[in-house]
Amino acid sequence: MKSKTEKIDPPNVSQPMEDEKRIIIRGGKPLNGQVRIGGAKNAVLKMMAAALLAKDTTILRNVPNLSDVHMMANVLRHLGAKVTISGSELSIDATNLTDWEAPYELVSQLRASFVVLGPLLARFREAKVSLPGGCAIGERKIDLHERGLKMLGAEVKIDHGYVTTSAKKLVGNRIYLDRPSNGATENIMLAAVAAEGTTIIENAAQDPEIVNLADCINAMGGRIEGAGTYQITIEGVPIESMHGAVVDTIPDRLEAGTFMLACMTTGGEILMESVNAHHLYSVISKLSDIGAEVSMYAPDMIRIKSRRDKLKATDITTLPYPAFPTDLQAPIMPVLCLAKGTSIITETIFENRFQHAAELRRMGADINVTSNAAIIKGVDKLMGAEVKSSDLRAAAALIIAGLGAEGVTEVTELKHLDRGYENLEEKFRFLGADIWRK
Ligand code: EPU
C-alpha cells in the first residue's frame, strides 16, 4: 500500500447537486401534522470514519440521504473501503484499505472528512489528510487536533496544505482541550482507541453525537467511558482486536429544531416522531420563553404548538452543548424577527456566522450586527424576496423565514441545504406548506 498524491476526479455524488435550482415558498400557511426526524448528519459522518478502525464490515442504520454522506462515502472509497448504501442502511467494508491519504479534492468538499486522520493513524501509524481550510462561517482552526495527536506521541507536520502524521507507537496521555471542540474530541478519541495505556480528554465536547461515536467505537471493540461528559477516558486496545458492528444513528436534533422553529414563524401544531427530547433541553427552554408550547408526547415524540401573535423577544448566547447550539442560531433568527420586542443573539462559537442577517433584512427584518452580536427588533411581518443561502443552517433560516413571510420567497444556492437536510421541502409540504423546488 502506498500513499498517493495524484489528482483525482471530483466525487461522483449520486444525489444530484441542486446548484441551479431554487426553493420557492408562498408563505403564510400554518404548519400542522406529524413529521419523522431522520438520523443525525454530524453523528453518522464520524461513525463512517470510525468504520476504518476495523478490518471488517460495519453497518450504520438510520442514515439520512444527504450529499455530505455521499461525499464521505467517496472519501472512504478513495481509501479502499467498499461502501454500499441501501435505503437508510450504510455498509462499510474496510478490510482492504489501499491508501492512508485523503486528498484536497475530497476534503475541501467536506470538512468533516478531516476526522479520518485519527482512525488512519490508529490503523496504519501513518496518515496524510488535506487541511480543510476555512469556510463561510469561520476560520475553523485545527490546532487542538494537532496538539492532541502530538500528545499521543505522533509526529504531526503541516506542509503544502496537508497534515501528515506518523507514530512508531501511540501512547495514552491526559489531554486538556482549550475549548470543547467536537472535531478535536473525535479525532483524539479515534486515534487513542489503539494507543498503549489510558488517554483522558479533559474539557471534551459533550454533544450527543460524541456519545453516538463512542458507542459505535465501543461496539467495534473499543473501551471508551465518559462520553457525554467533560472527561472522556479511553483505554487503548490492540488495533487488531477491533471488529465490525451494527450501530444506530441518533435522531438529528438540529433537524428537529428546524421544524420547531418553522412552526413558530408560521403558527400551528406539529408532532415530531423519532426525536430525543433530552438532546434539545436548551432549545425547548428558549422556545418556551419565546411563547411556544412544547411537550414530550412520548419518549421519542415532541409536540409543539405556537401562535404567531404570541412570540416574545428573548436573548440567546450560543455555547458548546448542552447550551444553545450555534447550528440553530441562524434558524432561530427569523422567529425573533417576528417576536414583540428586541432580542440579542450572541454567537460565541464561530466568528462569522451572521451572513443570513443581511438576507433576512432583504425580507424586511430589522437586524443590526455588531461584532459577535445581532440585535433584532421585532417587526410585524416579513416579506417574501429572493435570498441566497451562504451555508447549511443559513439556508434553513431563510426557508423558515419564507414559510412565515407574506408573499413569495425564492431561496438559491441549495447545495448548502442538501448537505444536511433530507427531503426538507417534501416534509414541509406534508405539514401544509406551499413550498417546492424548481
Ligand atoms: N476550533 C479551534 N481549534 C481546533 C478546533 C476547533 O480553534 O483545533 C474552534 C473552531 O474554529 C470553532 C470552534 O472551535 O470556532 C468549534 O469548533 P468544533 O471543532 O467544535 O466544530 P467542528 O467539529 O468543526 C462541528 C459540526 C458543526 C457545528 C460545530 C459546533 C460536524 C461535521 N460539524 O464542527 O456543524 O457547528 O461542531 O457545534 O460535526 C453544521 O452541521 O452545519 C455544522 C457546521
Cβ proximity of 64 and 39 under 8 Å: yes
Cβ proximity of 148 and 361 under 8 Å: no
Q: Show the cell assigned to 155.
A: 509526529
Helix ranges (DSSP H) in 389-431: 392-404, 415-420, 424-430
Mean pLDDT of 52-63: 98
Cβ proximity of 81 and 150 under 8 Å: no
What's the 420 CA to ligand 1 centre distance in angstroms?
15
Residue 14, pLDDT above cutoff 80: no
Q: Which atom of ligand 1 is nearest to the CA of 143?
A: 8
Question: What is the distance between the alpha carbons of residues 379 and 85, in angstroms, rounded to a whole number?
Answer: 46
Residue 370 DSSP code: E
Nearest Cα neighbor of 267 from 283, 291, 233, 245 is 291
Nearest alpha carbon, ligand 1 atom 10: 140
Per-residue confidence band for 135, with pLDDT thresholds at 50, 70 and 90: confident
What's the 184 CA to ligand 1 centre distance in angstroms?
9
pTM: 0.95
Mean pLDDT of 409-434: 96
Nearest Cα neighbor of 420 from 138, 64, 182 is 64
Q: Which atom of ligand 1 is nearest to the CA of 391?
A: 42
pLDDT tens digits, one per residue of 263-322: 999 999 999 999 999 999 999 999 999 999 999 988 899 999 999 999 999 999 999 999
Give me the active site residues, please: 135
pLDDT value at position 6? 37
Mean pLDDT of 99-123: 94
pLDDT value at position 136? 82
Q: Show the cell assigned to 91.
A: 455498509
pLDDT tens digits, one per residue of 319-341: 999 999 999 999 999 999 999 99
Per-residue confidence band for 171, with pLDDT thresholds at 50, 70 and 90: very high
Cβ proximity of 281 and 322 under 8 Å: yes
CA terminus-to-terminus distance, the chain? 46
Cβ proximity of 295 and 270 under 8 Å: no
pLDDT value at position 8? 38
Residue 205 DSSP code: -
What's the 347 CA to ligand 1 centre distance in angstroms?
13
pLDDT value at position 118? 98
Q: Please state the φ and ψ torsions of residue 357, each to the nearest 5 degrees.
A: -60, -40
Q: What string of DSSP letters covers 36-73?
A: E--B-HHHHHHHHHHGGGSSSEEEEES----HHHHHHH
Q: Which residues line ligand 1 (CB under 6 A)?
A: 42, 45, 112, 138-145, 179, 181-184, 205, 326-327, 349-350, 392-393, 420
Give the type of residue at 395: A
Mean pLDDT value across the chain: 94
Per-residue confidence band for 134, with pLDDT thresholds at 50, 70 and 90: low
C-alpha distances out from residue 11 to 14, 78, 79, 123, 357, Å: 9, 9, 13, 24, 32
Residue 17, pLDDT above cutoff 90: no
Least confidently predicted of 3-17, 25-39, 45-59: 3-17
pLDDT value at position 128? 96
Cβ proximity of 132 and 108 under 8 Å: yes
Q: Which atom of ligand 1 is nearest to the CA of 68?
A: 32
Nearest alpha carbon, ligand 1 atom 23: 183
- How would you list the strands of the sheet with 316-317, edge to edge? 316-317, 342-346, 373-377, 366-370
